[in-house]
Amino acid sequence: MCGIAGSISRQPMKKQYGNALRSILHRGPDAQGDYETTLHNRNIWLGHTRLSILDLSSAGAQPMHSRSKRWTVVFNGEIYNHLKLRKEIDCEFRGHSDTESLVETIDRWGIERTLPKLNGMYAFAALDHHKKRLYLVRDPYGIKPLYYALRADTFLFGSEMRVLRSLGFPAELDENALQTFLTLRYTPSPQTLLKGIHRLEPGHMMIVDLESMRQMRKSYSLPQKSRFIGMQSVATRCYQNELQKAVKRQLLSDVPVGILLSGGIDSALIAAMAKELGHPLTGFTVGFGAAHRECEIGDAEHTAQILGIPHRSIIVDPQKLWDSLPQIVSTVEEPLGTTSIMPMWYLVQRAREEVTVVLTGQGSDEPWGGYRRYQQERLRSYIPENVWGSLRHLPTSERLPTFLKRGLKSIPIRNTIIRLLQTYTLFDLEERRMLTGDTSSGEAQERIAYWLAWQSQEGLSITERQLRIDARMNLSDDLLLYGDKISMAFSLEARVPMLDIELMEFVESLPLDYKIRLGKGKIVHKEMAESYLPREIVHRKKKGFQVPFGDWCRGIWKDRVRDILFDPQGIHLLYLDRKGLEKIWAEHQRSDRGRSLFSLLMFALWCRQYLSATTSDSLAP
């Protein structure tokens, strides 16, 4: 796990290179390195900061050149099957790092043939000295982020947006992206809230021709087309085998490994399998104390006791969470409407005191249908078409849960893209008009349409398509994005076994009824877990790593949040209408608009940090 940076420019920007590496030193405190060359009269610079996980020796240092000298790579992530790849290319290696496996595999097979063979989480840049091209690549589920920008004939890229800003790129709000954010509570790739700065989509690569500076972006990750045709009992046994192999692959490390242990099924299952493989992992849990229904410490302690594994916990109070917000906003770099980023900040700090790598249970809800929104689409499939229209006129109370109101509004919509958009919507069309004077959903509708078209496969239900969209859109650019940024802020590598590429190929091949039915989700997943865990854990009510933000906004945080949202000097008020904010604030005092308010709070804090600083409009060397 590391940080990468780079630039292609007419003139060297040597003064900024050091700043760029220092800006991501937290991602790689063990070593730093860079490489500079000239191709087609353009200066190419590649930088790297290293967190040593595999091959702690200098043989794993980057940037790394292939033995033939044709390729130079800077790499962030882990290739879990790299030892298998080594056997296939039969090369004389200098060390045992996965970076060396990657660069030599690319040298032997080329980029196009190598990418489908990789199983891992990664973002990397590969410079082809012969064809004079630079390739940027992001893994199929977007576990590792990768940003890029082009300005004034200068191309920049990095693991975090701060790299591009340290190389001189200005911070300017993209107001179309703001509409996307208000619609979805995050901005899907390739869009970010900063104009001109883009995030590479999951499973995509970008090719930059060094002579013309022409950029071509394309998907290299193909949708799963094979279909599992066995009985459910057979699927359960096969799934067990595939998850066992995934966990074993992701235990590979030359440094200590732990697990972020929630009170739910997913991390408990991974911990049980790791112990079965001879790796009893220490579990780490964060909570707010037993007085809060959202606290998972008691449930996690129970799980750890049953599994017989060491367990550590940390309790955070509202004051500590409030104090951390500015740092969190700075670290994540993009406002997100997900309250779990706050306890995550303290959880990874506690884990880093003992380990350098953690496994997490993230990533199972999307492919297995673990969220309530999937039930809406399944329910719709049972409702006769002539009934849909009548549902449009059902009254909805302000006091109804937000998810239920969204569901009732979405079911009657015939157009698939618009219906899914309504399912995901945080602020609806009228609320966006109220907040910005613009009803546009930004690029939200376009991104849903893109991932629907990417599947281009007959025979898939809308629910199956939605599962695949969510695994590559909101998962990668919301939950995994903050997971990467916050864990790496403390030089901790977070791995996601549930998104192991070979495992996901199997899961996405399963019939929908093996995943979700009316009133049930994660069917085979839970059925298999019962062979490792007591039913009370497998079927324990999901708490979802939530924070009681809504309650606090009507109580102990009420004045603080209000002071930020309605600060007359707040830069966010240049983009959001005060009366619109007041209406949503008033609604929350009567019902629950906690997620909406948290998104607005994060945007206000983000504006304060990212749009108030004076930035240069040039990329002067």
Q: What's residue 468's pLDDT?
A: 96
**Segment 231-252 mean pLDDT:** 97
**454/547: higher pLDDT:** 454
pLDDT of 619 > 50? The answer is no
pLDDT of 334 > 90? The answer is yes
**Segment 392-403 mean pLDDT:** 59
**Alpha helices, DSSP H, located in 210-231:** none
pLDDT of 223 > 70? The answer is yes
Q: What's residue 618's pLDDT?
A: 32
Q: What's residue 412's pLDDT?
A: 78
Distance (Å) of CA 594 to CA 426, 547, 550:
11, 10, 4
pLDDT of 508 > 60? The answer is yes
Q: What's residue 621's pLDDT?
A: 30
Q: What's residue 206's pLDDT?
A: 98
Q: What's residue 117's pLDDT?
A: 96
Q: Return left, alpha or beta for 177; rule: phi > 0 is left, psi -120 to 50 is alpha, else beta.
A: alpha
pLDDT of 409 > 80? The answer is no
Distance (Å, rounded) from C-alpha 404 to C-alpha 495?
A: 33
In three-state secondary structure terms, 65 is: strand
The alpha carbons of the chain give a radius of gyration, in whole angstroms, of 24
Distance (Å, rounded) from C-alpha 484 to C-alpha 480?
A: 6
**Using one digit for the tens of pLDDT, what is the confidence trace for 557-614?**
999 999 999 999 999 999 999 999 999 999 998 888 999 999 999 999 999 999 974 3
Q: What's residue 57's pLDDT?
A: 64
Distance (Å, rounded) from C-alpha 359 to C-alpha 257?
A: 7
- What percent of the chain clears pLDDT 90, i.e. is strictly above it? 76
pLDDT of 473 > 50? The answer is yes
Q: Worst-scoring range by mean pLDDT, 68-72, 438-442, 550-554?
A: 550-554
Distance (Å, rounded) from C-alpha 272 to C-alpha 267?
A: 9
pLDDT of 24 > 90? The answer is yes
Distance (Å, rounded) from C-alpha 523 to C-alpha 509?
A: 15
In three-state secondary structure terms, 112 is: helix
**288/27: higher pLDDT:** 27
Q: What is the residue whose two structure tokens read 């049972």?
A: 382
**Segment 374-399 mean pLDDT:** 69
**Mean predicted lDDT score pLDDT of the chain:** 91
**380/549: higher pLDDT:** 549
pLDDT band for position 376 (50/70/90)? confident
**Using one digit for the tens of pLDDT, what is the confidence trace for 446-469?**
999 999 999 976 778 999 999 999
Q: What's residue 337's pLDDT?
A: 94
Q: What's residue 382's pLDDT?
A: 78
- Are the C-beta atoms of 71 and 56 separated by less than 8 Å? no
Distance (Å, rounded) from C-alpha 444 to C-alpha 455?
A: 17
DSSP state of 29: B
Distance (Å, rounded) from C-alpha 14 to C-alpha 33?
A: 14
Q: Smallest Cα–Cα separation from 5: which of 58, 49, 61, 36?
A: 49
Q: Worst-scoring range by mean pLDDT, 135-139, 380-384, 502-506?
A: 380-384
Report CA 291 to chain centroid distance, whole Å: 31
Opening angle at CA 168, ends 167 and 172, nearest 5: 125
Q: Which distant-in-sequence residues (6+ apart) come within 8 Å of 15 by Cβ? A: 621
Residue 194: which H helix or E strand, with range? Answer: none
